[in-house]
Amino acid sequence: MTMTVATRAIATARSAVRASRLRNVFTAQKSQSHALLIRQMSSEAQSMRSEEQSIAARLRSSGLFRSQGLIGGQWIDAYDGRTIKVHNPANGEVIANVPLMSKRETDDAITSAYDAFKSWSKLTAADRSNRLRKWYQLLTTHKEQIGQLITLEQGKPLKESVGEINYGASFLEFFSEEAKRVYGDIISPTIADRRLFVLKQPVGVVGVITPWNFPLAMITRKVAPALACGCTVVIKPSELTPLTALAAAELSLQAGIPPGVVNVVMGDAPAIGDAILASTQVRKITFTGSTAVGKKLMAGAAGTVKRVSLELGGNAPHIVFDDADVDVAVKGVIASKFRNSGQTCVSANRILVQQGIYEKFCNAFSKAAQDLQVGDGFGEGVAQFFQGPLINEAAVQKVEKFLRDAITKGAKVVLGGKRHSLGMTFFEPTVIADVNSDMLLFREEVFGPVAPLLPFRTEEEAIGLANDANAGLAACVYTNNIQRSWRMAEALEYGMVGVNESLIATEVAPFGGIKQSGLGREGSKYGMDDYLELKYVCLGNMDGN
């Protein structure tokens, strides 16, 4: 990978946005002289160029633009030299070629992690804590550059990318503190001369498989507690967004986390997954991604009886009652629905609105959705609501399929409903009304910027509709009635419930789902449990000398 490619990608992205901005300037100021416009264009282009040069220089000097795998502290190509391309979803350009690794590299990464476990798990908790905190500090120091990497390979707006670095880094900070709070127990014996103890010990090597929608935060949410407990890891990031993972891994080395504790392989996903599943040295697998892949991993883990943590698909209901504050509800649903272009497992997927407020909410919500700006993630770092491209063509085709299905079955497009005029994988923010439970939009996650609205009459009906799903990750309720908010929180079959607030994920609270949305919890003090084994120790004959 060369920085010139990265610089070119940033430059092309920015010039597309620039061009569209300037087109607008041109339309709005037709009467301005041509010469003035040209001067404006060249001075804007000049300042962009120098900004890009400093971005490139910073990335280069910090060594953060890594494009090889990391095994035992060594940056490594695929053993057979094969590579895969990483694309910028906003313009299709190739940003980097990374190794197409497979079973052999994965086995070596597992061996490195296994060897490193022996010493890493023996460090004092305070020592591990200090290194995790250093990693947190380095990520925070480099948040602008790594944020740019996220926008380059994932497409989300730069402001959201930098927000993801803060979010992702917060897990390292939090678990650096939790590292020091792993306590065992002493149990009263049932036989007088015995002493009973419970020890908590790290599970061992962990296989960490992460998705493209949060290229950093889904890694740190798993790796931070794993390392805090004394485990070591083999990370397989999504092949669509490996560069952020590699930059984070580079910083782990700079933070003093010893070689072999953090390993990164990528490429042939099924072969890497199979190698992790087959290894008896890997004691646990943790995965965020689709329910379909999660089920395969769970089945595959049975062969070696590995522990499994799964954070799988959602189908989040957002329930707006007549007594809600409409402004609060609109703001909450917009933020949840259009964050990351609707590509999160907790995105509002079914917006249930009580009849008395349905029309008012629909109008206010559509107006807010209409005000969303769409464009290259580098374009508008400061816009309040801004939507980037979808990750790839398959994602757009899925959105189109769900929309066709809903329209055929009687739903009405209120806003958007088609690809954006910017082309590529940009899609118009879409609002679709009168959705019902026969439609794909109700049954499955659309994972795109489509907001389906459904009317309901009673609280009981809303609970029935909301719980009519195999998924059970996150739900949200908008109401000013405190009793109702509590009744709903208890009745909803979801692992997380927001009341009058949709962006509820934080490092200090347990993130995870019930039903087919997964197993285990990430973040918070509970996030440590998934990486610890309990060991019962009985000391007998304690009355002797």
Alpha helices in 450-540 (DSSP H): 459-467, 482-491
User: Least CB distance from residue 513 to ligand SIN, whole Å?
Assistant: 9
Binding flag, residue 344, ligand SIN (CB under 6 A): yes
Radius of gyration of the chain (CA): 25
Q: Which is nearer to ligand SIN, 102 or 344 (CB)?
A: 344
User: Least CB distance from residue 505 to ligand SIN, whole Å?
Assistant: 4
Q: Which is nearer to ligand SIN, 346 or 362 (CB)?
A: 346
Q: Which is nearer to ligand SIN, 215 or 267 (CB)?
A: 215
Binding flag, residue 150, ligand SIN (CB under 6 A): no
Residue where the block lists tokens 């908790």: 125
User: Least CB distance from residue 15 to ligand SIN, whole Å?
Assistant: 31
Q: Are strands 282-288 and 307-311 parallel, antiparallel or unpaired?
A: parallel
Binding flag, residue 288, ligand SIN (CB under 6 A): yes
Binding flag, residue 345, ligand SIN (CB under 6 A): yes
Q: Which is nearer to ligand SIN, 275 or 310 (CB)?
A: 310
Contacts for 343 with CB less than 8 Å, ≥ 6 apart: 213, 390, 391, 395, 447, 448
Rounded to 10 deg, the angle between the 34-62 and 3-28 helix axes is: 160
Q: Which stretch binds ligand SIN (CB under 6 A): 126-134, 342-350, 430-438, 526-534?
A: 342-350
Q: Are strands 94-99 and 83-87 parallel, antiparallel or unpaired?
A: antiparallel
Q: What is the DSSP string of 122-149?
A: TS-HHHHHHHHHHHHHHHHHTHHHHHHH
Closest CA to 497 of 5, 139, 487, 102: 487
Binding flag, residue 346, ligand SIN (CB under 6 A): yes
Q: Which stretch binds ligand SIN (CB under 6 A): 45-53, 108-116, 323-331, 341-349?
A: 341-349
Q: Which helix (H) or strand (E) holds 198?
A: strand 195-202
Q: Which stretch binds ligand SIN (CB under 6 A): 103-111, 343-351, 391-399, 422-430?
A: 343-351
Closest CA to 276 of 373, 207, 178: 207
The CA-to-CA distance between both ends of the chain, in Å, stands at 68
Q: Which stretch binds ligand SIN (CB under 6 A): 22-30, 339-347, 370-378, 443-451?
A: 339-347
Q: Which is nearer to ligand SIN, 151 or 213 (CB)?
A: 213
Q: Which is nearer to ligand SIN, 312 or 362 (CB)?
A: 312
Site track for ligand SIN across 213-232, x = CB under 6 A = xx------------------
User: Least CB distance from residue 499 to ligand SIN, whole Å?
Assistant: 17
User: Least CB distance from residue 347 to ligand SIN, whole Å?
Assistant: 8
Q: Is 445 a catalytic residue?
A: no
Kindly determine how many residues on this chain lie close enough to bind ligand SIN according to the rule CB under 6 A. Answer: 8
User: Least CB distance from residue 142 to ligand SIN, whole Å?
Assistant: 21
Q: Which is nearer to ligand SIN, 84 or 505 (CB)?
A: 505
The neighbour count for residue 383, using CB atoms within 10 Å, is: 14
Binding flag, residue 15, ligand SIN (CB under 6 A): no
The dihedrals phi and psi of 537, each to the nearest 5 degrees, come to -120, 130
Coil, helix or strand at residue 518? strand
User: Least CB distance from residue 331 to ligand SIN, whole Å?
Assistant: 17
**Residue 223 near residue 233, CB atoms below 8 Å:** yes
Q: Which stretch binds ligand SIN (CB under 6 A): 62-70, 147-155, 323-331, 338-346?
A: 338-346
Q: Which is nearer to ligand SIN, 160 or 311 (CB)?
A: 311
What does the block give as tokens for 46?
């000049």
Site track for ligand SIN across 187-216, x = CB under 6 A = --------------------------xx--
Binding flag, residue 505, ligand SIN (CB under 6 A): yes
- Active-site position among 105, 153, 250, 311: 311
Q: In what order do the strands lie in the sheet with 316-320?
A: 412-415, 430-433, 450-456, 348-354, 316-320, 474-478, 496-499
Q: Which is nearer to ligand SIN, 120 or 212 (CB)?
A: 212
- Choice from 153, 160, 311, 376 touching ligand SIN (CB under 6 A): 311
Binding flag, residue 447, ligand SIN (CB under 6 A): no
Closest CA to 213 of 411, 354, 389: 389
Cα separation, 210 vs 224, in Å, equals 14
Give how far Cα 439 sits from Cα of 282, 417, 530, Å. 41, 16, 36
Cα separation, 87 vs 160, in Å, equals 19
Helix/strand/coil (H, E, C) string of 99-126? ECECHHHHHHHHHHHHHHHHHHCCCCHH
Which residues of the shown chain bind ligand SIN in the complex (CB under 6 A)? 213-214, 288, 311, 344-346, 505
Give catalytic residues, as residue numbers: 311
